[in-house]
Amino acid sequence: MTHSTPPMLYRRLGRSGLQLSLFSLGSWVTFHNQVDAHGVREMMAAARDAGVNFFDNAEVYANGQSEALMGEALAQLRWNRLDYVVSSKFFWGLDRGSADQPRINGRDTLNRKYLLQAVDGSLKRMKLDCIDLIYCHRADPHTPVDETVWAMHNLIEQGKALYWGTSEWTADDIRAAWDVAERHHLHKPVMEQPQYHLFHRKRVEHEYARLYEDTGLGLTTWSPLASGLLTGKYRQGVPAGSRGAMEGVSFLREGLLDARKNTAVGELEAVAKELGCSVAQLVLAWVAHNPRVSSVILGASKLAQLHENLGALAVLPNITAEVLSRMDTVTAGLAQ
C-alpha cells in the first residue's frame, strides 16, 4: 500500500521567487495537543530529511504552545536558516480577556496595534529574528483594509517578516488588499491559505481563478485529508485517539461522520488499490496535482502517518485525466 518516497518537488510561492516544498508540515491540532516536544523535534527532522522546507504555524494554535514547541525544535535542530521557511498567522489573539473585561484590541482583529505586537510575541516564542510568511488568519470587516495592508507592509520593512498573505479570505477581500498595496507601492499579499480537498474545492478552483493571473497569488493549502475523513478511518465511526475524538475539535465530528462522504471515500479505495497506494496518498496527490497549489500542508500525529503521507509524491505521476475523471464522478454533488 505504500511507495518508496521519491525526491521532494518544489514550487514557487505564486509569482514570488521563494520556493516551497510541494508537501509541508503543519502544526494545527497536533503540536502540544497530540505531539510532545520530543515528538515535534523528531517529526520536523524526519520531514526535513524528506526534503520538506516549509513548516506552518499560527499564533492561536494550542494558545501559543505550538509556536513555542516549534521554536524549541528549531533551536535544537540548528538548521541553516536559508534551508527552511516558517509561517505564522494572526487574527484571533491569545489572551482574549474575560466576558466582563474582554481584550478589545487583542482579539478577532487585524488592527495595527494588535498585528505589530502579535508578531513580536510569535518571534519570541519561535526564537526567530524573522518569520518568513505571515498571514492574516481571517478577514476583519471592522478594520479598514488600508490599515491592515500598511501594518503588514511595515512588518516586512522592519525585517520581522519576508512575505505576507491571507487565510480564508474571499477573492474580493484579497483583491481590495492587493489594490491598496498597488496604489501606495506597498508590499502586496503574495499568498492565500485556503482549505482545499476533494470535498471543498470551489473557492480554489473557481472563486480565485482570476487572481492567479492578475495578482500572481500562490496557495499553501490546509486540510488536504478533510481532517482525516479522506483517509477512510471514520467509515465505521470515530476511532479512539483520532482527531475526531478530541474534545477541542468536536465541531469537526458531524462532518467526519457524514454518511454520503464516507461512502464516497469507500469508492475511492478501489481507485487507490488500482494505483497501489492508500486512499490518503491518492487524495493528497490529487491536491498536489493542481499547479496553482504551491504547497500542501500535512498534519500528522505519528511519524508513520507523516511517512505515509509523503508517499503521495510517488503517486503524483499517476494522477491522469482518467483518474481525475473517476474521482470527480465519485465525489459529484458532495463538493463545496
Choose among 62, 44, 68, 64: nearest CA to 54.
44
Does the annotation count 84 as an active-site position?
Answer: no
- DSSP string computed for 92-135: S-S--B-SSSB-GGGSS---HHHHHHHHHHHHHHHT-S-EEEEE
Where do the H-state alpha helices sit in the chain?
37-49, 65-77, 112-126, 145-157, 171-184, 202, 209-215, 253-256, 259-275, 279-289, 303-310, 312-315, 321-331
> What residues form DSSP beta bridges with 195?
222
Given a contact cutoff of 8 angstroms between Cβ atoms, the answer to whether 285 and 250 are in contact is no
Which residues fall within 8 angstroms of residue 5, CB to CB, at 6 or more apart?
A: 50, 307, 310, 311, 313, 314
Cβ atoms < 10 Å from Cβ of 60: 20
Active-site annotation holder among 10, 61, 114, 234: 61
The SS3 call for residue 287 is helix
Which residues are the active-site residues?
61
